[in-house]
């Protein structure tokens, strides 16, 4: 490791270390003398980071982590180049197209060749800086930065430009792909004629871009609330009312995120309650991101709730609604005998949701009762209680769901939950167990986060092209296969929502309707009234649909009806249980579907699985050894040895020590061209179809999983759990 003399306060007096020479070419030993040591430490403690930041017009930052996230590293690689010295600014975040960087010395000029106008500079303490620097350098050892930056010939924006001109300047100067440039040019046309007074007035921009462009236009301080630390200074109701959030406070200053530089109303209300005056420094930030920070501070998530438009979720109010106050619930101790069963249940539901649980299992376990949440595919116990308390808890949840209290019956029901601004639909299943016990299983459906855009599905360029061309067909059959809980419904909703518009009639038949979407006609199966998948599909053909989604093709009758619909001018999407995309073909044939009909109808077949996604805050880079290189090469995901690292799980506060945060979809996607269609019709073997699919560029689930390892999204251990191994060919 190389050091300069400014950093001698990191070491002990008279300690001998290697320092870089001024020419940067070699080293010399240098013994830190007492005078230099005292001078350096005096300089370091002379001013706090609050004073340094205030004096230089920067933002002090309270970073909790000691590592540079992968996202921070990626934006550095996109904009930067090899630094000119050994102590550059550290990337600690992003704000749309801008990079947030940090240093203990605001006068340092080494920002990796990135122009100041694209940087949001913050101040951190010296120890934190060196921890981050050491971590970043270890990452760059695996894959060095380029010596040339795309911004080396950067043109600064001319003074006095109007806001739309800022977007045009951005398109001309920022490293964008041709597709991205086209999208931004479309945004210019959409914003033409709009009066832009603040970040929210930019129409159609991704989150944070309005704030970033306003910084370029006005050169004001701004920040990303996603990087904000937890706060306990202000009541959450006050923060929500004024849409503000504190990111740093000292005895003299308070740095406050705000959607507007005008914070007088907040300040007046705070002072009117008898609090001491303090200088408040407003920092511009995206309003929805501020609300997300407030929600995250109490363990929840928030999504913008603007006007309801085509493609957005519709909230049904015809079910029971359980309201949970996040502010009150965090003060509940579920082990306190004086806490009521109702409060304990609310606490358990809140904890399961706040830890990103998808399901909650409530069951007897030996002589106790346990509550287990499924987080990122794995079950974890979040609460235990005595065996005697379980019937009371089950009775409460059955009341919420309007279920019968008969313990010997199989029952399914649902109720709604509202936690702060968050709306969640809960599906409840009651199952009798031994000795007159019952087990309840609850599935949480996030009403605000359930519908994904295609861009959120982690599709490769080839897969994006396949989906786009398939969904723009006027007829054909689209199969999505995979086990329960593999994200099939999420993918199907994203597919149909990508074409959801006024000139297309989309109709679904589902069991149950998981998410209600504006602009899409949705029908739920109902055995009592004689509506199943097959009869419902035949019925909705009389409703003049363009696109049809059938929740599942469970039998020959439904599968045949779906294929006939796909052959008569409709685009039909459905799910099936099969191990991979091509086995779905043999599965349908084994159900009794004629091969020649299937060959004519099939447009696309997709298999998918969900695997745990590495935490972007703490994942650690490791070198690719010869064994892994051979694995990649043998499976056709690399053609020559790679110097890029792969990553392993580490564990931090953000991911609760697991090393994983969320899940990522692995998709095997086969577009059915004329050759494969003829092979299906003629009854070709699975091996023959695999070879043809490989020529088309189709990768198996395992190969797609290895690509996700190379991209740094998951680990080899996670991919090894996939049920299908090997390549298509």
Which range has highest mean pLDDT (17-26, 130-139, 237-246, 667-676)? 667-676
Residue closest to 609 by CA, chosen among 665, 668, 661: 665
Q: Which residues contact 653 (CB under 8 A, 6 or more apart)?
A: 64, 65
Structure tokens at 253: 């200053």
User: Is pLDDT of 103 > 90?
Assistant: yes
Euclidean distance between CA atoms 641 and 643, whole angstroms: 7
User: Is pLDDT of 42 > 70?
Assistant: no
pLDDT at residue 304 in the model = 44
Among 222-226, 274-278, 338-342, 362-366, whose mean pLDDT is lowest?
A: 274-278
pLDDT at residue 215 in the model = 83
User: Using one digit for the tens of pLDDT, what is the confidence trace for 328-342?
Assistant: 888 889 998 889 999
Number of residues in the chain: 729
Indicate the Cα dihedral angle 399, 401, 406, 411, nearest 10°.
-170
Indicate the Cα dihedral angle 283, 289, 295, 297, nearest 10°.
-50
pLDDT at residue 670 in the model = 95
User: Using one digit for the tens of pLDDT, what is the confidence trace for 310-331?
Assistant: 444 333 444 578 989 887 888 8
Among 121-125, 181-185, 667-671, whose mean pLDDT is lowest?
A: 181-185
pLDDT confidence band for 39 (50 / 70 / 90): very low
Tokens 């007046």, residue located: 268
Q: How many helices (H) and strands (E) does the chain have?
A: 24, 25
Domains of the chain: 1-46 (no CATH), 163-218 (no CATH), 225-297 (3.30.300), 321-446 (3.30.450.90), 454-719 (3.40.50.300)
pLDDT at residue 117 in the model = 87
Tokens 């086209």, residue located: 182
User: Using one digit for the tens of pLDDT, what is the confidence trace for 428-438?
Assistant: 999 988 777 88
Euclidean distance between CA atoms 616 and 68, whole angstroms: 9
The answer to whether 536 and 547 are in contact (CB under 8 A) is no
User: Is pLDDT of 504 > 90?
Assistant: yes
Q: Which residues pair with 508 in a beta bridge?
A: 522, 549
Across 273-285, average pLDDT: 86
Q: Which residue has the higher pLDDT, 654 or 394?
A: 394
Tokens 């002379």, residue located: 46
Euclidean distance between CA atoms 687 and 697, whole angstroms: 15
User: Is pLDDT of 355 > 60?
Assistant: yes
pLDDT at residue 16 in the model = 41
Q: Which residue has the higher pLDDT, 318 or 244?
A: 244
pLDDT at residue 195 in the model = 62
Q: Which residue has the higher pLDDT, 192 or 493?
A: 493
User: Using one digit for the tens of pLDDT, what is the confidence trace for 451-473?
Assistant: 788 878 888 889 999 999 999 99
Tokens 């009403």, residue located: 447
The DSSP output letter for 32 is: P
Q: Which residues pair with 604 in a beta bridge?
A: 478, 671
User: Is pLDDT of 247 > 70?
Assistant: yes
User: Is pLDDT of 683 > 60?
Assistant: yes
Q: Which long-range contacts (CB under 8 A, 24 or more apart) does 291-296 make?
A: 291/240, 291/243, 291/421, 292/225, 292/226, 293/225, 293/226, 293/228, 293/245, 293/257, 294/236, 294/239, 294/240, 294/245, 295/326, 295/420, 295/421, 295/422
User: Is pLDDT of 635 > 70?
Assistant: yes
pLDDT confidence band for 727 (50 / 70 / 90): low
pLDDT at residue 598 in the model = 95
User: Is pLDDT of 621 > 80?
Assistant: yes
Percent of the residues in the chain that have a pLDDT greater than 90, as a whole number: 39
pLDDT confidence band for 561 (50 / 70 / 90): very high
User: Is pLDDT of 186 > 70?
Assistant: yes
Across 650-660, average pLDDT: 87
pLDDT at residue 160 in the model = 60
Q: Cis omega (within 30 of 0) on the bond before 512? A: yes
User: Is pLDDT of 13 > 50?
Assistant: no
User: Is pLDDT of 172 > 50?
Assistant: yes
Among 244-248, 270-274, 487-491, whose mean pLDDT is lowest?
A: 270-274
User: Is pLDDT of 200 > 70?
Assistant: no
Question: 536-568 as b/e, with b when 16 or more CB fall inside 10 Å?
Answer: bbeebbeeebebbbbbbbbeebbbbbbbbbbee
Q: Which residue has the higher pLDDT, 430 or 450?
A: 430
Across 256-279, average pLDDT: 85
Which range has highest mean pLDDT (79-83, 140-144, 446-450)? 79-83
| SS3 sequence of 489-519 | HHHHHHHHHCCCCCCCCEEEEECCCCCCECC
Q: Which residue has the higher pLDDT, 44 or 504?
A: 504
The DSSP output letter for 156 is: P
Q: How many CB atoms lie within 10 A of CB 256?
A: 23
Across 391-397, average pLDDT: 92
The answer to whether 605 and 581 are in contact (CB under 8 A) is yes
pLDDT at residue 297 in the model = 76
Q: Which residues contact 437 (CB under 8 A, 6 or more apart)?
A: 363, 364, 390, 407
The answer to whether 293 and 231 are in contact (CB under 8 A) is no
pLDDT at residue 74 in the model = 82
pLDDT confidence band for 229 (50 / 70 / 90): confident
Euclidean distance between CA atoms 713 and 362, whole angstroms: 32
Q: Which residues contact 253 (CB under 8 A, 6 or more apart)?
A: 50, 54, 278, 279, 280, 281
User: Is pLDDT of 228 > 80?
Assistant: yes
pLDDT confidence band for 479 (50 / 70 / 90): very high
pLDDT at residue 554 in the model = 86
Q: Which residues contact 485 (CB under 8 A, 6 or more apart)?
A: 358, 377, 610
Across 262-275, average pLDDT: 85
Phi/psi at 306 (5° precision): -85, -165
Residue closest to 688 by CA, chosen among 678, 337, 184: 678
User: Is pLDDT of 385 > 60?
Assistant: yes
């Amino acid at each position: 490791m190389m050091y300069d003399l400014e950093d001698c306060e990191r070491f002990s007096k008279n300690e001998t270390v290697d320092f870089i020479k001024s020419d940067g070419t070699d080293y010399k030993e240098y013994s830190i003398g007492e005078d230099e040591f005292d001078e350096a430490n005096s300089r370091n403690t002379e001013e706090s980071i609050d004073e340094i930041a205030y004096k230089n017009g920067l933002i002090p930052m309270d970073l909790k982590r000691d590592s540079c996230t992968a996202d921070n590293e990626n934006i550095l690689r996109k904009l930067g180049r090899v630094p000119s010295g050994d102590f550059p600014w550290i990337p600690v975040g992003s704000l749309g197209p801008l990079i947030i960087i940090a240093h203990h010395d605001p006068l340092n000029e080494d920002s990796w060749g990135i122009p100041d106008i694209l940087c949001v500079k913050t101040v951190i303490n010296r120890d934190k800086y060196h921890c981050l620097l050491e971590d970043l350098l270890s990452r760059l050892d695996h894959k060095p930065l380029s010596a040339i930056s795309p911004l080396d010939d950067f043109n600064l924006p001319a003074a006095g430009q109007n806001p739309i001109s800022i977007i045009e300047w951005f398109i001309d100067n920022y490293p964008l792909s041709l597709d991205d440039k086209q999208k931004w040019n479309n945004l210019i046309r959409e914003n033409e004629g709009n009066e832009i007074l603040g970040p929210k007035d930019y129409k159609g921009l991704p989150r944070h871009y309005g704030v970033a462009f306003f910084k370029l236009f006005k050169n004001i301080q701004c920040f990303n609330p996603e990087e904000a630390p937890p706060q306990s200074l202000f009541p959450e109701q006050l923060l929500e009312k004024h849409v503000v959030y504190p990111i740093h406070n000292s005895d003299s200053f308070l740095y406050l995120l705000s959607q507007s530089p005008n914070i007088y109303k907040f300040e007046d209300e705070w002072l009117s309650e008898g609090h001491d005056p303090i200088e408040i420094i407003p920092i511009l930030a995206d309003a929805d991101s501020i609300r997300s920070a407030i929600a995250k501070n109490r363990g929840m998530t928030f999504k913008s709730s603007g006007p309801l438009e085509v493609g957005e979720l519709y909230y049904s109010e015809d079910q029971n609604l359980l309201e949970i106050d996040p502010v009150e619930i965090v003060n509940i101790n579920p082990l306190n005998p004086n806490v009521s069963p109702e409060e304990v249940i609310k606490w358990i539901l809140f904890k399961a949701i706040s830890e990103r649980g998808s399901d909650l299992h409530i069951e007897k376990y030996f002589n106790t009762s346990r509550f287990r949440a499924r987080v990122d595919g794995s079950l974890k116990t979040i609460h235990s209680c005595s065996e005697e308390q379980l019937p009371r808890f089950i009775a409460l949840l059955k009341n919420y769901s309007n279920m019968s209290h008969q313990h010997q019956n199989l029952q399914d029901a649902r109720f709604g939950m509202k936690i702060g601004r968050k709306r969640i639909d809960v599906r409840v299943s009651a199952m009798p167990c031994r000795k007159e016990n019952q087990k309840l299983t609850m599935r949480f459906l996030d009403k605000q986060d359930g519908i994904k855009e295609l861009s959120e599905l982690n599709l490769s360029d080839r897969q994006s092209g396949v989906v786009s061309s398939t969904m723009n067909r006027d007829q054909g059959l689209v199969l999505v296969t995979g086990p329960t809980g593999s994200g099939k419904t999420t993918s199907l909703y994203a597919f149909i929502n990508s074409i959801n518009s006024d000139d297309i009639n989309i109709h679904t038949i589902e069991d149950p309707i998981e998410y209600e979407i504006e602009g899409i006609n949705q029908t739920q199966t109902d055995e009592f009234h004689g509506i199943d998948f097959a009869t419902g599909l035949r019925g909705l053909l009389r409703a003049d649909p363009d696109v049809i989604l059938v929740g599942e093709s469970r039998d020959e009758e439904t599968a045949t009806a779906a294929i006939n619909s796909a052959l008569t001018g409709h685009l039909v999407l459905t799910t099936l249980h099969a191990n991979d995309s091509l086995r779905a073909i043999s599965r349908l044939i084994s159900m009794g579907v004629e091969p020649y009909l299937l060959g004519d109808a099939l447009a696309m077949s997709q298999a998918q699985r969900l695997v745990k996604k590495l935490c972007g805050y703490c994942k650690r880079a490791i070198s690719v050894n010869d064994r892994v290189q051979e694995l990649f090469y043998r499976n056709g995901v690399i053609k020559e040895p790679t110097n890029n690292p792969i990553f392993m799980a580490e564990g931090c506060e953000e991911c609760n020590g697991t090393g994983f945060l969320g899940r990522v979809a692995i998709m095997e996607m086969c577009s059915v061209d004329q050759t494969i269609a003829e092979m299906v019709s003629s009854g070709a073997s699975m091996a023959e179809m695999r070879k043809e699919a490989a020529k088309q560029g189709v990768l198996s689930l395992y190969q797609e999983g290895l690509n996700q390892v190379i991209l740094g999204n998951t680990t080899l251990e996670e991919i090894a759990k996939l049920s299908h191994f090997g390549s298509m060919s």
